Amino acid sequence: MNDAQLTSALTQPVDTRERLPLGALLALATAGFITVLTEAMPAGLLPQMSAGLNVSQALIGQLVTLYAIGSMLAAIPLTIVTRSWRRRPLLLSAIGGFAIANSITAVSEWYWLTLTARLLAGIFAGLLWALLAGYASRMVAPHLQGRAITVAMLGAPLALSLGIPAGTLLGTLVGWRLSFAIMTVLTLLLVIWVRWQVPDFAGEHTGKRLPLRQVFTLPGVRSVLFVTLTYVIAHNLLYTYIAPFLQPSGLASDIDRVLLVFGLASVLSLWIVGSLIDRWLRELMLISTLLFMLSAIALGLWRESATVVYLAVAVWGLAFGAMPSLLQTASAKTAGEAADTAQSMLVTLWNVGIAGGGLAGGLLLGSLGVGGFPWIVVGLLVLTLSAVLRARGYGFV
């Protein structure tokens, strides 16, 4: 190389897509953190919100249900309608929706108004989750997409393991209204962070947009969606009814500790998977499914033992923690330029899985008993495992 070539090489700009933009990705992770915390806070503040709004705790529980319904119904249509929009204004609109919804919740004196605000928050959540993985993957080169998505998904397990207990404690100390007001302040700070750190991207060009049906029939997309549905139903069947499941081991009164173990293991899972996901996506999916299956078998055989329960829950957390990143990475890589549309279908089925797991558990609780749940989980995971194995060429490659 002569002097001119060396000078030229040294002055070439570094491709920013060849390194992780941590500031921008952590902003996306914070958006996910606020989304999950907003969804689950009423569950930890049932008595306070029930007294404040003069309704039963069962009706307060429906605030979580309606949020999930809003996400489930809105993800696909909103993503399709906004495909041509520039990405950062759309992302800021979704985040800003949480500031509006949480502000209404903080000041509302009427249950119907609070319920409406929760539906609104769920709608914005559906749009936000459909955006995050595609947004993160566009910031980096293809060989870093999985790692970028993993960082962007970090907010969800952190919210589940640390944010929700902290939010419940905050609500106990300062009241539930001030807790939601604080969420609004955090959301407004996030808007500033996103505007400062997160780059903007163009929406899909009209000529390149694939209809929803065509995206659904892309090779590998249906496999990813099927795995999403079966895995999430299996997870929520057990997770939703973990309290009665813990009674034989004497841990029912320690459910907060059990869920903390699950949450911390989930965070550890993300840290482990983050450096491997772009090279070993298929293998990690298989390992995750097998670990969850082994955990379910242990819970089915030895659920009277507190030690086994703690170990099995830790393994379950390791299996589940990185699952959103694995599924969304598989979806983004499989769908290519139609990633946002594919993600909206994944978000919808994820919420169907949450609702389906809870509904199936409620129906089976009286007839089968909670002791039979691990074996249903194992059956669902056999279906999951077989789908991943078959999707060798497309989906989980």
CATH assignment at residue 357: 1.20.1250.20
Residue ending a domain, among 175, 201, 227, is: 201
pLDDT digits (tens, 9 = 90+) for 190-207: 999 999 999 998 877 665
How much of the chain exceeds pLDDT 70, in percent? 94
Most confident of the ranges 133-147, 250-264, 331-345, 375-389: 375-389
Residue ending a domain, among 179, 201, 223, is: 201
Q: What is the pLDDT of residue 13?
A: 42
Q: What is the pLDDT of residue 157?
A: 77
Q: Are residues 319 and 232 in the same domain?
A: yes
Q: Are residues 288 and 143 in the same domain?
A: no
Q: Is the pLDDT of residue 8 over 50?
A: no
Our count of domains for the chain comes to: 2
Q: What is the pLDDT of residue 15?
A: 52
Q: 159 is in which domain, residue-wise?
A: 21-201
Q: Are residues 193 and 223 in the same domain?
A: no
The two most distant CA atoms of the chain are separated, in Å, by 81
**What are the backbone dihedrals phi and psi of residue 276, each rounded to the nearest 5 degrees, phi first?**
-115, -15
pLDDT digits (tens, 9 = 90+) for 12-54: 344 556 788 999 999 999 999 999 888 878 877 878 888 899 9
Q: Are residues 363 and 238 in the same domain?
A: yes
Residue ending a domain, among 171, 201, 231, is: 201
**Is the residue at 395 inside a domain?**
no
Closest CA to 277 of 323, 317, 235: 323
Q: Rounded mean pLDDT of 110-118?
A: 93
Q: Are residues 35 and 182 in the same domain?
A: yes
Q: Is the pLDDT of residue 9 over 70?
A: no
- The model carries a pTM of 0.80
**Is the residue at 136 inside a domain?**
yes
Cα 26 from Cα 194, distance rounded (Å): 10
Q: Are residues 183 and 245 in the same domain?
A: no
**Is the residue at 207 inside a domain?**
no
Q: What is the pLDDT of residue 205?
A: 67
Confidence class for position 208, pLDDT limits 50, 70, 90: low
**Is the residue at 350 inside a domain?**
yes
Q: Is the pLDDT of residue 153 over 70?
A: yes
Side chain identity at 330, as an amino acid letter? A
Q: Are residues 220 and 197 in the same domain?
A: no
